[in-house]
Structure 1
Amino acid sequence: MSGLRVVPAWRHGQERLYVCLTDGRNVAWYDREAARVNLLSEDRRADVLHALGPFLTGPVTVGPPPVPTPAELARLTLHPDDDLAPNRPGEALVIALDRDPGPAHRLRPDPRRRRLAAEQAVGTALDRLESGGWRTLHSVPLPGGDRIHHLVIGPAGLFCVRTLSAHRQRVRVDGPMVVVGRREPRPLLRRVRADADRASHALTAEVRAVLAVVGAAALDAPAPPRDVRVLRDTDLAGLARLGGVLKPADVEALHAMARDRHTWLRM
């Protein structure tokens, strides 16, 4: 008996099979897409291949792991407290609601909860792009207490996405002004552009602005602005159909930079 076990895991939307010792330490992993078995110990080659035997789907390359890319090295050296990648959609609102849930006797729902639900819906839609080579960060903190709701990086470029909760109300976009239901018009598109500009400055790359409208009964944009995409959350998958701009290595490098909290503190 080799004492090895095979444990499946997911990384960037792709399945990997890790070969582990009984104490949980990895000795190898099988990357199906690359058809490669990466060995951490050459002495275990025969045992690893025996353990993986039922899972191998064809000829494979067997050898030590490839040299890490600069993006992978940056990720490996990043302190967990400075890594923004684990942030959940609406992370800042989740924390605020935990600290101050508000009175339990409210006659109307706390508006923060609707905003949170909207950010979670947009976050879910953007996270689904991962299988197509996209990377998403949520609730990116900025100096001064501001934050970027979502930053998505993929083959079509970088997009700064701000969420707008409409909840069965009519939304009209007219120039920089956005009207939700009977509320007063707000120059929301200026805020969306400002977020994208700050992200462009921090990452030294072009970042395009997107306003994602969630739950609207109707969305009217008679003259859509050229520099801001106004989309329903159900239409965000269309970003993946835009023309390719970035190579996979560029996507990973920009994601490694963006997930580092210090990138945004230098602004």
Structure 2
Amino acid sequence: MSGLRVVPTWRHGHERLYVCEADGSSVAWYDRDTGRVNLIGEDRRDDVLEALKPFVAGPVTVGPPPVPTPAELARLTLHPDDDLAPNRPGEALLIALDREPAPAHLHRPRLRPHPRRRALVAEQTVGEALDRLEGAGWHTLHSIPLPGGDRIHHLLIGPAGLYAVHALYARKQRVLVADPMVTVARHAPEPLLRVLRATADRASYALTAEVHPLLALAGPADLRVTATPRSVRILQHTDLDTLSRLGTALKPGDVEALHAMARDRNTWGRV
């Protein structure tokens, strides 16, 4: 008996099987998607393959782990406090609500939700839709803090390019877009597209790459656009998956490198 055990793990919907010693140290891992067994040491090759035999179907490639890319090395050296990748959709709003909850009477079901809670619902709805693009080669970072108290609600990085996404709550309401003004229901119009273009420009400066502005509407009853807005894409949250069908502008290596740069809090300190 080799004494090895197989421990399955899941990350972003992908399964990886680790082969471990009795003390928990890993000697290899098997990636089902690529069909590759990565050996940390050649001396346990036969034992590893024997332990994995019940889990492997079909031919596999066996060899040492791949050399880390520059993007992977940057991620490994990033301090956890500076890593923005773990941020949840609406992270800043969640923290603010924990520190200063809305008044109790605003939580009654028949009253209109507090504006901060409506904004949180929008960011969570849009963020969940963007996270579902992960398997198509995209990465999403949420709630990126900018100097001056501003934020990028979501930064989407993938084969079709980079998008600074602003989530807008519009549940069962009519939305009118007359560049640069956006009107939701009977609320006063706001120059939201001008603000969104400025935010995308700041992101472009930080990443030294073109970032496109995108307005994502969470659950509108009706959308009317008087004329095609300059440089801004407007989508309902249910249509965000169409981004995965756009043309290819970035190679996989470029996507990973930009994601590694964008997830570092220090990248955004001077924009």
Give the TM interval when normalised to the shorter protein: over 0.9
Report SS of the residue matched to 2:59. coil
Among candidates 229, 235, 260, match of residue 231 of structure 1: 235
Superposed displacement of residue 142, structure 1: 0.7
Equivalent residue letter for 1:50: E
Q: TM-score, normalised by structure 2?
A: 0.95
> Match for residue 121 of structure 2?
117
Equivalent residue letter for 1:266: R
Could you say what the CA RMSD is over the residues aligned between the two structures, in angstroms? 1.3
Count of aligned pairs between the two proteins: 267
Q: Residues of 1 paired with 2:133 and 2:9: CA distance?
A: 19
Alignment of 1:124-135 (within 5 A): 124-135=128-139
> Match for residue 41 of structure 1?
41
Q: Is the 8 A contact 1:161 1:209 kept in 2?
A: yes
Superposed displacement of residue 222, structure 1: 2.3
Equivalent residue letter for 1:214: A
> Match for residue 247 of structure 1?
251
> Match for residue 53 of structure 1?
53
Q: Residues of 2 paired with 1:57 and 1:78: CA distance?
A: 37
Among candidates 183, 186, 190, match of residue 186 of structure 1: 190
Q: Residues of 2 paired with 1:19 and 1:97: CA distance?
A: 43
Alignment of 1:160-239 (within 5 A): 160-239=164-243
Could you give the per-residue CA deviations for residues 49-108 of structure 1, whole angstroms, max 9, x where no partner exists? 111111212222212111110011001111111100000000000000110112212253
How much identity, in percent, do the aligned residues show? 72
Change (3 A) 1:135 1:245: same
Report SS of the residue matched to 2:155. strand
Report SS of the residue matched to 1:105. helix
Superposed displacement of residue 25, structure 1: 2.1
Q: Is the 8 A contact 1:224 1:230 kept in 2?
A: no
Superposed displacement of residue 43, structure 1: 2.0
Q: Is the 8 A contact 1:139 1:148 kept in 2?
A: yes
Change (3 A) 1:141 1:123: same
Q: Is the 8 A contact 1:173 1:224 kept in 2?
A: no
Q: Is the 8 A contact 1:7 1:20 kept in 2?
A: yes
Could you give the per-residue CA deviations for residues 243-266 of structure 1, whole angstroms, max 9, x where no partner exists? 011111111010000001111113
Q: Is the 8 A contact 1:208 1:228 kept in 2?
A: yes
Superposed displacement of residue 36, structure 1: 1.3
> Match for residue 64 of structure 1?
64
> Match for residue 265 of structure 1?
269
Superposed displacement of residue 138, structure 1: 0.4
Equivalent residue letter for 2:246: L
Runs of 5+ consecutive residues of structure 2 not aligned to the other structure: none
> Match for residue 4 of structure 2?
4
Superposed displacement of residue 13, structure 1: 4.0
Superposed displacement of residue 232, structure 1: 0.4
4+ residue runs over 6 A deviation: none
Confirm or deny that 1:81 pairs with 2:81: yes
Could you give the per-residue CA deviations for residues 15-72 of structure 1, whole angstroms, max 9, x where no partner exists? 2211122333221111223221111122221221111111212222212111110011
Report SS of the residue matched to 2:189. coil
Equivalent residue letter for 1:9: T
Equivalent residue letter for 1:55: F
Equivalent residue letter for 2:54: P
Superposed displacement of residue 114, structure 1: 1.6
